Homo-oligomer: A and B are copies of this chain.
Amino acid sequence: MSGRGRNRRGFLAAAGGVLGAAGLAPVLRAAEFKPEAPDWTKNLGPGVDAAPYGKPSPHEKHVIRRSVEWLTATPQSSVNFTPLHELDGIVTPNGLCFERHHAGVPDIPPAEHKLLVHGLVERPLKFSMAELRRFPPTSVFHFLECAANGGMEWRGAQLNGVQYTHGMLHCVQYTGVPLRLVLEAAGLKGQAKWLLLEGADAAAMTRSLPLAKALDDCLLAYSMNGERLRSEQGYPLRLVVPGWEGNIWVKWLRRIELGDQPWQTREETAKYTDLMPDGRARRFTWLQEVKSVITDPAPEARLAGKGFRCIKGLAWSGEGRIARVDVSRDGGRNWTTARLEPPVLPKCLTRFYLDWQWSGEEVLLQSRAIDEKGFVQPSPAVLQKTRGVNPIYHNNGIQTWAVNRDGTVENVRLG
């Protein structure tokens, strides 16, 4: 209730009171005010049998995941991006969740899928999906971000659109079995310290996961937003590793091996490491640190004219909850605290808003998130100072959108 109260006062103040609010819609003269029915009320449209599984309105066909052709050799080893500028709230609809594949999407009959658990365990186990679904489930809202989200922006502004700079990101309610329960069923041997996770795709995606994280909050997930996983998200089974980079959320999960040390797989040595200025690589840097971005205005969501605008954005942290988001309109010199929308959940997207009156001047918009552990989203300059310009992973730098006098918005990098 207090959130709604603040919402209203903030809005009325920003819009210049009630008359300002009224200014968002033209006041009608009496003669114009004929509430006659539009044409479409005269047509009896489709009934409840038209689409047993519904689809978006044809008027929304521009709201899609998009990829770039030049990034990888084939669409089977590529990524597409969530249209963040088109989305509201914190839930990403399943049809718009970004995809990243290393060898395409396998077609797995769920009745034939098996999960093997072996290695340093008392009892090697093999689970069918039906057996896994007998375990007590847990449902949790979590963001999933690719470690490479924003990777092309390390050396400067490259891509003109929030769908491309930040769209390797989605957030859904996942449901599955706590991984801990399955490990306890198998019985861990004392030397067990690491898990090997292997996917059933043609890349046999393989990653090492420390046991402490596996026992903490990982899920063997079979559902997202209520329904079974989409094929491209690992149907029928993927690992959910809350707050950690997407690559380790192994999809089409078929094998878990317990061992006493990491496996040093390709995806944690040649890839998904951060090459530092001294030529060494940071490895096993799984955490997605505190981050935020303004999704509206954005290059794809320009300003149509002067006046009131509600700035909208998303914030998230692999450490836990978002504590605060600040917004700057002058490239980081002055900051105003934004309104966070409940529920503010751990390792989950948080929606923020700031009411704003645009007078037509040039503006440098930024957002800066702070999480419950006190970590502050850094500027790109700070990131480059410590990590150089080689990395492509774990870019959680502050994004700047330049608003031009004509209302267009551009991706820029401040010095």
- Choose one: B54, B222, B254, B308; the contact of A96 (CB below 8 Å): B54
A65 partner residues in chain B, CB cutoff 8 A: 48, 52-54
Whether the Cβ atoms of B55 and A95 lie closer than 8 Å is yes
Q: Does A67 contact B (CB under 8 A)?
A: yes
Whether the Cβ atoms of A54 and B185 lie closer than 8 Å is no
Whether the Cβ atoms of B51 and A202 lie closer than 8 Å is no
Whether the Cβ atoms of A93 and B226 lie closer than 8 Å is yes
Q: Interface segment, A79-87, A327-335, A394-402?
A: A79-87
Whether the Cβ atoms of B116 and A33 lie closer than 8 Å is yes
Whether the Cβ atoms of A88 and B175 lie closer than 8 Å is yes
Q: Interface segment, A133-141, A149-157, A276-284, A382-390?
A: A133-141
Indicate with 1 or 0, residue by residue over A96-116, a CB within 8 angstroms of chain B CB atoms: 110111011111111011101
Whether the Cβ atoms of A63 and B228 lie closer than 8 Å is yes
A24 partner residues in chain B, CB cutoff 8 A: 127, 131, 134-135, 185
- Choose one: B47, B55, B60, B109; the contact of A78 (CB below 8 Å): B47
Tell me, in angstroms, the Cα distance from A341 to B345 when the chains sit together: 13
Most buried by B among A30, A47, A94, A114: A47
> Besides the contacts A92-B226, A343-B343, what 7 more A-B pairs have beta carbons closer than 8 Å?
A27-B124, A32-B126, A41-B200, A42-B202, A45-B103, A48-B232, A89-B173
Q: Chain B: which residue is nearest A76 at the CB level?
A: B47
Decide: A230 near B66, CB < 8 A? Known: A78-B47, A201-B41.
no
Q: Does A190 contact B (CB under 8 A)?
A: no
Indicate with 1 or 0, residue by residue over A242-253, a CB within 8 angstroms of chain B CB atoms: 000000000000
Whether the Cβ atoms of B88 and A226 lie closer than 8 Å is yes
- Choose one: B66, B116, B202; the contact of A45 (CB below 8 Å): B202
Q: Does A300 contact B (CB under 8 A)?
A: no
Q: Does A40 contact B (CB under 8 A)?
A: yes
Whether the Cβ atoms of B88 and A91 lie closer than 8 Å is no
Instruction: Kindly provide the distance from the CB of A256 to the nearest chain B CB, expressed in whole angstroms.
Output: 10
Residues of A within 8 A of B (CB): 4, 7-8, 10-12, 18, 21-22, 24-28, 30, 32-33, 35, 37-38, 40-61, 63-67, 74-80, 86-97, 99-101, 103-110, 112-114, 116, 118, 123-127, 130-131, 134-139, 141, 172-175, 178, 180-181, 184-187, 200-202, 204, 217, 222-223, 225-232, 235-236, 254-255, 304, 308-310, 312, 341, 343, 345, 351, 353, 355
Whether the Cβ atoms of B60 and A228 lie closer than 8 Å is yes
Tell me, in angstroms, the Cα distance from A109 to B34 when the chains sit together: 20
Whether the Cβ atoms of B18 and A185 lie closer than 8 Å is yes
6 pairs of A and B residues whose beta carbons are closest in the complex: A47-B75, A88-B175, A89-B139, A52-B64, A45-B104, A45-B105
Whether the Cβ atoms of B201 and A353 lie closer than 8 Å is no
A86 partner residues in chain B, CB cutoff 8 A: 227
Instruction: Kindly provide the distance from the CB of A126 to the nearest chain B CB, expressed in whole angstroms.
Output: 5
Instruction: Kindly provide the distance from the CB of A62 to the nearest chain B CB, expressed in whole angstroms.
Output: 10
A110 partner residues in chain B, CB cutoff 8 A: 57, 59
Whether the Cβ atoms of B341 and A343 lie closer than 8 Å is no
A8 partner residues in chain B, CB cutoff 8 A: 178, 180-181, 184
Q: List 5 A-B contacts (CB under 8 A).
A: A40-B107, A41-B202, A42-B202, A45-B107, A93-B225
Q: Chain B: which residue is nearest A61 at the CB level?
A: B53
Whether the Cβ atoms of A187 and B97 lie closer than 8 Å is no
Whether the Cβ atoms of B52 and A53 lie closer than 8 Å is no
Q: Chain B: which residue is nearest A11 at the CB level?
A: B136
A309 partner residues in chain B, CB cutoff 8 A: 134
Whether the Cβ atoms of A26 and B126 lie closer than 8 Å is yes
Tell me, in angstroms, the Cα distance from A99 to B12 when the chains sit together: 36
A254 partner residues in chain B, CB cutoff 8 A: 35, 38
A134 partner residues in chain B, CB cutoff 8 A: 24, 308-310
